[in-house]
Amino acid sequence: MSLLLALLLAVPILAGLLLVTAFPRATGAPVVAAGGVAAVVTAVLAVELAASRPAVMTPALVVPLVPGITFTYAVDGLGAVLAVTVAVIGALVLLAAAGEERLRRGRFVGMVLVFLGAMLATVTAATLPALLAPWEVMGAASWALIAFDRRDPAVGPAAGRAFLTTRTADVGLYVATGAALAAGVPGLSFAALGDADPAWSSPVAAGLVVAALGKSAQLPFSGWLSGAMIGPSPVSALLHSATMVAAGAVLLLRSAPLLAATGWAAGTVAWVGGLTAVVLGVVACVQRDLKQLLAASTCSQVGLMVLGAGVGASAGAAGLLVAHAAVKALLFLAAGGWLALLRTRALPALRGAARRHPAVGVPFTLGAVALAGVPPLSLWWTKDAVLTGIPLGDGGLTVAALLATVLSAVSATRAAWFVWRPVRSPSIRRGTDGDRPRRHVPVAITVALAVLAVPAVALGGVAVAVGLVPGADPGELVTTGVVVLLAAAATWVLHSRPVRLRSSAWGRAAATARGWLGLEALVGPVVGTPVLALARLLDRADATLGRAVPRAAATVPTLARGVDRYGERPLAGAIDRLAAGVRRLGDLARRPQTGQQHQYYAQGVIAIGVLAGVAVVVVTAGVR
């Protein structure tokens, strides 16, 4: 079992590194085939590992780091489900990317595989050190994928903002690891965090919460996800479905015992998730760009997962994560298909797109209906599982979750309304993300959409039926189903008979919401400015040190000469004089040693005479 786990992590990472380093400019079928084989093998390994996982034992891969601390990767129930989700959706995203000529490159395919490997390591990490490495790799790989199209001058700054925001929040993971080490958490394992010393549990929880919120684009870190939409649509599908944005929710689910033990952390996480779900739900409802609508919707849906992790509804949150991954991958790949066909992602310009291209329109509609939470599709079941987990006395969170559910229905219905409305005029606005206009949807995209439509529709119900996700109260299911249907119907009718609001205040509010409330612009003053100020301070310190080093180097020879003149030379002279004196004494001592016996007799007589004389003198002096 540990061998399967090792292969699951090694195959995508090693294959990706090989493509990125050895064949970055390779293109065409060989690259697609190599990436496809690696992705399929990874998916098969994930399914096999999940299917063969014993009920009483967790397959583990343990790599010693230092005594008492290891890199440990394990496949428990949550890890098995998430590993299959990540691997299968990653393979389908690579399949869809093969339909775009510019993405059939070794650099792109390899980086996607590295990205998948890092996420697989993240969902199976059982200790904090085992999480740190893939967490960092995922951030770097996301930057490279968002900035894949180097020709667009706006790509670099957008990717930089995403990387800077998430990296700033990632500091929390290091703080949590250090605090856990200071608290003496056995092996720094997630399972033992809940039993950490109360004096250290709050710093550990705070660090993990900040890192998770930043990765999952929750308030106040949501702005980076808007800029990330400039990347290729398959990258967006990957970011929003089963990888980076979901990683924060996974971290919070792993840390649920610690959140509950600290008291304040669980409530904070739940409310941040609830507020994000509502605020970004509003942002999604006013978007005019399809990818921006889907991005804001992702923040909102992940907010519900975060809320579930905060209130202890871990099973419901995990079910929502998996169902949402299938739905959002489907929607983003469909948006990418239209982008390649029509060269636009603006909703008004996509009028009638589903009618003209039903191979994309039908799966997109199924995904939109599922995202809206319409019964009996996937997200209807899983959202209710989260709602059921909210404590009865916490009315505020319940209202937030219900409001987020309604807003999700509104935004999803709005997207479906645009793509199904008849075309008013043949004009098509040029987009920003396409290669060249196409006449037909690539087969690879069509196949990927068709496959993803199945779990998008049925996964939630299946999960409840087999007991992976707790079923909600039938009355609650009916209530939320009716609310969602009414919200969707009202949205469709209002868009068909639009009401013109001439209020300038409404216009300004809608424009602010479409701009993600200025959250992306805040990255500069809130994150960039302090970081740059610190960088300038460190640069001045470095410059001062740089000037001091040559001066110190020039002082050393002078100091050496002084030591030589006033220290080493006098000392050497004294030692030389002492040695000469010793040699002189030795010469004097050797003179009586002639080897002549009669001389020794004479010397003895003289010595005896001297001693006798001394004795006489002493005795005489004593008598007196």
SS (H, E, C) 529-575: HHHHHHHHHHHHHHHHHHHHHHHHHHHHHHHHHHHHHHHHHHHHHHH
In one-letter notation, the amino acid at residue 283 is V
Structural element, H or E, at residue 410:
helix 395-420
| DSSP-derived secondary structure letter, 180 | H
DSSP class of residue 498 equals P
Counting the structural domains of the chain, the total is 4
Residues 373 and 256 placed together within one structural domain of the fold: yes
* Residue that is written with structure tokens 């809206």 in the block: 372
Asked whether residue 624 is domain-assigned, the answer is yes
Contacts of 448 (CB under 8 A, 6+ apart): 92, 93, 95, 96, 333
Asked whether residue 482 is assigned to any structural domain, the reply reads no
Amino acid letter for position 558: T
For residues 25 and 46, give the distance between their C-alpha atoms in angstroms, rounded to a whole number: 29
Same domain, 616 and 573: no
User: Residue ranges of the chain with pLDDT lower than 70?
Assistant: 1, 54-59, 424-439, 460-461, 463-473, 498-503, 523-524, 526-528, 623-624
For 622, the domain range is 592-624
Residues 569 and 436 both lie in one domain: no
The reply to whether 181 falls in a domain is yes
Same domain, 301 and 352: yes
Task: Quick: pLDDT tens for 301-344.
Answer: 999 999 999 998 998 899 899 999 999 999 999 999 898 888 88
Is it true that the peptide bond before 376 is cis, omega within 30 degrees of 0?
yes
Co-location of 111 and 170 in the same domain: no
**Collapsed DSSP state (helix, strand, coil) of residue 575:** helix
Specify the pLDDT at position 563.
80
Given 474, 504, 531, which residue is the final one in a domain? Answer: 474
Could you tell me if residue 402 is inside a domain? yes
**Cα–Cα distance for residue pair 580/578, rounded to 1 Å:** 5
pLDDT at 321: 94
403 and 544 together in one domain? no
Give the CA angle between residues 193, 86, 230 to the nearest 5°.
105
Is residue 503 domain-resident?
A: no
Judge whether 486 lies within some domain. Answer: no
R_g of the chain computed on alpha carbons: 37
For residues 125 and 210, membership in a common domain is answered with no
What pTM value is reported for the model?
A: 0.82
Paired strand residues for 63: 71
**Is the same domain home to 452 and 564?**
no
Same domain flag for 556 and 597: no
For the CA atoms of 554, 559, 560, 564, the dihedral, rounded to the nearest 10 degrees, stands at 150
Same domain, 319 and 415: yes
The Cα 279–Cα 340 span in angstroms is 31
Q: Considering the domain boundaries, does residue 238 fall inside one?
A: yes
For residues 514 and 284, give the distance between their C-alpha atoms in angstroms, rounded to a whole number.
8
> Is the distance from CB of 336 to CB of 291 less than 8 angstroms?
no
Instruction: Give Dmax over CA atoms of the chain in angstroms.
Output: 148
Q: Is 67 exposed, middle or buried (0-12, 13-18, 19+ CB in 10 A)?
A: exposed
pLDDT at position 623 = 65
